[in-house]
Structure formats: structure tokens, C-alpha cells
Amino acid sequence: MARELDEKDFAILRKLAPEYSGILCPESGHEFHSILPPVSNHIAADEEDFAERVGRLSDEDWGYLTDQIVSGREDLRCMPEEDIETILVRIQGAVSVEAAEQVRRLYHLSGCGVL
């Protein structure tokens, strides 16, 4: 189920991609429904750029994003494994090891078609 991003989501998106002011996903032409996948897949130049961008987020931002991921509102299925690993390191440091493991399991289950 697609979600509509709110002001908190757009504030995080502005931290991740300050040069990008639109609400449309650059490749698909439809509105963003998640934050991390379009940054990973369409805005960041490469894995290192993605890591630098997510490094801009506060612990509070990571807590919020982790809640969104765990609840199914932030969909990571289309993200490459290397960017997921970057996210997991950030969640582990900002939230907890347990939260990072929960996100890891969700990502792998979604890739297997279970979710």
C-alpha cells in the first residue's frame, strides 16, 4: 500500500537530497511513496554517495525511519543489498542492534516473496 509522504518525510528527504526539490521519482515520474529507495536508486550517484547522504540523518531521523520500515510504510524491497547494509549499520548505531536485525529480516523476507 502506497503512503503519502508528510512534512517530516519531506524534511528527511531534503537532508538526503537537498539538490532535489521535486516530489516525483526521477525515473518513474510518480510521486515518492518511500524515502530511502528513490535516494538509493535514482538520486545518489553510487554506493559511497548514498552512504554519505544517509550519514546526514540524526538518530531521531533513524528512529522514525526504522518505525516506518518495521510498520511496512517504508518499502526497501527494490534497494540493492549494499545500500541495505549501509542502512543497517546506521540503524544499529542510532536505534539498536535488535532493530537493525528486524529490518534485515524484513528485507530478506520481502525479497523471498514472503512479504
Structural domain boundaries in the chain = 7-111
Question: Residue 22's pLDDT is what?
Answer: 59
Give dist(CA 68, CA 91) in Å, integer: 12
- Which H or E run includes 16? helix 7-16
**What are phi and psi for residue 94, nearest 5 degrees?**
-95, -30
Question: Residue 23's pLDDT is what?
Answer: 54
Q: What is the pLDDT of residues 16-37, one digit of tens each?
A: 998 876 554 555 444 667 899 9
Rg (CA), the chain: 13
Give dist(CA 77, CA 65) in Å, integer: 15
Give dist(CA 32, CA 41) in Å, integer: 12
Higher pLDDT, 5 or 99: 99
Could you tell me the three cell numbers for 96?
Answer: 539498536
Give dist(CA 84, CA 69) in Å, integer: 12
For residue 108, CA distances in Å to 55, 78, 104, 113 come to: 23, 11, 6, 9
Q: What is the pLDDT of residues 43-72, one digit of tens each?
A: 999 999 999 999 999 999 999 999 999 999
